[in-house]
């Protein structure tokens, strides 16, 4: 490897070449740092943090609502719950919780039957992407 530091009495052309090599090294280092930092930022997508009831959990038929909480801010979204007989169990299409901009919320009808329920959600997250998902839970008396 060539020593980038010019020795005393080195020709002017050698000194310029050494300075260019050092400058190229700095530019390559900065470019690599920017690429790695950009990749980290770009991979930070909004994800589901929790659900209530929890995915796969069993709750009482007396529950009044279902929620999905995300790791990031939501612009808007929907949340719909379907019961064991295929009938809609939610009272609306749900929406973003007015008290928590990271949560979708929907109320449930009264007198729900025991069985398996599916909650399906769609969310427009702050970065402009639309995400969809679902989870199942059971209700018992």
Task: Please tell me whether residues 121 and 59 are part of one structural domain.
Answer: yes
Nearest to 73 by CA among 94, 100, 51: 100
Task: Please tell me whether residues 65 and 95 are part of one structural domain.
Answer: yes
Contact 92, 107 (CB under 8 A): yes
Residue 137 pLDDT: 98
Residue 23 pLDDT: 67
Average pLDDT over residues 78-94: 96
Residue 89 pLDDT exceeds 70? yes
Domain holding 79, by residue range, is: 48-140
pLDDT: which is higher, 42 or 62:
62
7-11, 27-31, 105-109, 126-130 — most confident range: 105-109
Place of tokens 């007989």: 85
Nearest to 70 by CA among 124, 107, 117, 108: 124
Average pLDDT over residues 28-36: 51
The maximal CA–CA distance of the chain, rounded, in angstroms, is 94
- Choose the final residue of a domain: 26, 44, 62: 44
Nearest to 110 by CA among 83, 76, 75: 83
Range with lowest mean pLDDT among 26-30, 59-63, 116-120: 26-30
Task: Please tell me whether residues 57 and 2 are part of one structural domain.
Answer: no
Q: State pLDDT tens for residues 41-56.
A: 444 689 999 999 999 9
DSSP output for 20-89: HHHHHHHHHHHHHHHHHHHHHHHT----EEEEESPTT-EEETT--EEEEEESS-EEEEEEEEE-TTS-B-
Residue 29 pLDDT: 58
Contact 125, 103 (CB under 8 A): no
- If one counts the domains in the chain, the total is 2
Share of the chain above pLDDT 70, in %: 69
Task: Please tell me whether residues 29 and 87 are part of one structural domain.
Answer: no
Residue 45 pLDDT: 84
């Amino acid at each position: 490897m060539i020593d980038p530091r010019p020795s005393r009495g080195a020709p002017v052309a050698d000194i310029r070449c050494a300075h260019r090599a050092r400058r190229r090294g700095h530019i390559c280092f900065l470019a690599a740092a920017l690429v790695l930092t950009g990749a980290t930022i770009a991979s930070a997508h909004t994800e589901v943090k929790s659900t209530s009831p929890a995915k796969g959990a069993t709750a009482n038929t007396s529950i009044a609502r279902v929620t999905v909480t995300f790791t990031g801010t939501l612009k808007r979204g929907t949340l719909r719950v379907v019961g064991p007989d295929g009938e809609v169990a939610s009272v609306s299409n749900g929406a973003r919780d007015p008290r928590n901009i990271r949560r979708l919320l929907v109320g449930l009808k009264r007198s729900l039957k025991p069985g398996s329920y599916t909650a399906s959600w769609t969310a427009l997250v702050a970065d402009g992407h639309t995400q969809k998902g679902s989870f199942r839970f059971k209700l018992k008396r």
